């Protein structure tokens, strides 16, 4: 069963990063049909990337995000999906698959845009396809922004799933309608809270592709900004866990 979980989360997170990274590449790399279409285009592209990722990872509950997995853990849920208890082994299975999938998705995005990456483009734009970065660099407030945005993501997802919160069915994935709801939620977070840091709201989404950026043979790519890399990992973890803790207090009352 855990093998299926691992494969499902790997494929789902790879789909997320292929399409999410792709919309950024289409916007900011040179000689693209979508060049300069703007941040709103990126917001909707990432929302649709989440929609696709959640759908194809139905077997594992469509977490595709360590912050979601840790939020469910903190909420007191007993199973991730039917037959998969919430414990250390299953949690590590989810998170390791998400990290691997994010790396794979970033590599696939690079392959799709290989000629654009080889073309003349600022090093910052090339990194921006893979990883997030702040508009105003301040570690404390960048961390706060990521924690708040991820709290919104995880708490709303858990709230939408409250009717099956401690049951055997998947906590996150509720089929097409549920996947669409999560997608629209991500669009809303991007539109409202995405400006300061680029809204990673997912440790795997940022760290896996950042590693890919570091190892791929991209011409004139510059550094991978490792001094900032901890913020889109730690901030979403804090936000996700806090959402799970609040869900443990509030949501079971409505069951």
What residues make up the domain containing 59? 2-254
pTM given for the model: 0.92
Determine contact, residues 113/28, Cβ cutoff 8 Å. no
Domain count, the chain: 1
Strand, helix or coil at 213? helix
Determine contact, residues 32/76, Cβ cutoff 8 Å. no
Q: Which secondary structure element, helix H or strand E, spans residue 191, and what is its range? A: helix 175-193
Q: Considering only residues 86 and 177, tell me which one the structure prediction assigns the higher pLDDT.
A: 86
Percent above pLDDT 70 for the chain: 93
3-class DSSP string for 97-128: HHHHHHHHHHHHHHHHCHHHHHCCCCHHHHHH
- Return d(Cα 156, Cα 175) in angstroms, integer: 16
Assign residue 204 the CATH number of its domain.
1.20.1080.10
Q: Give the confidence band of 4 by pLDDT, cuts at 50, 70, 90.
A: very high
Task: Please measure the distance between the N-terminal and C-terminal CA atoms of the chain and give it in whole angstroms.
Answer: 28
Q: What is the pLDDT of residues 166-200, one digit of tens each?
A: 443 444 445 677 889 999 999 999 999 999 999 99
Q: Give the confidence band of 247 by pLDDT, cuts at 50, 70, 90.
A: very high
- Return d(Cα 194, Cα 58) in angstroms, integer: 27
């Amino acid at each position: 069963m855990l093998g299926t979980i691992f494969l499902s989360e790997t494929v789902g997170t790879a789909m997320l990063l292929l399409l999410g990274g792709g919309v950024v590449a289409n916007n900011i790399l040179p000689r693209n049909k979508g060049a300069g279409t703007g941040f709103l285009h990126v917001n909707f592209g990432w929302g649709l990337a989440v929609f696709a990722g959640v759908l194809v990872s139905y077997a594992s509950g469509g977490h595709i995000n360590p912050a979601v997995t840790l939020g469910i853990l903190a909420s007191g849920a007993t199973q991730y999906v039917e037959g998969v208890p919430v414990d250390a082994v299953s949690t590590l299975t989810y998170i390791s698959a998400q990290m691997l999938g994010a790396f794979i998705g970033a590599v696939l995005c690079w392959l799709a845009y290989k000629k654009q990456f080889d073309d003349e483009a600022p090093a910052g734009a090339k990194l921006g396809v893979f990883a997030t970065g702040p508009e105003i660099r301040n570690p404390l407030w960048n961390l706060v922004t990521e924690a708040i945005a991820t709290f919104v993501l995880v708490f709303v997802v858990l709230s939408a799933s409250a009717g099956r919160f401690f049951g055997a069915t998947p906590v996150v994935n509720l089929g097409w309608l549920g996947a669409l709801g999560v997608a629209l939620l991500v669009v809303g977070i991007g539109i409202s809270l995405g400006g300061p840091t680029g809204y990673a709201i997912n440790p795997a989404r940022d760290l896996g592709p950042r590693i890919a950026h570091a190892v791929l043979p991209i011409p004139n790519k510059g550094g991978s900004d490792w001094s900032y890399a901890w913020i889109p990992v730690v901030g979403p973890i804090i936000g996700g866990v806090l959402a799970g803790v609040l869900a443990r207090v509030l949501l079971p009352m409505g069951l």
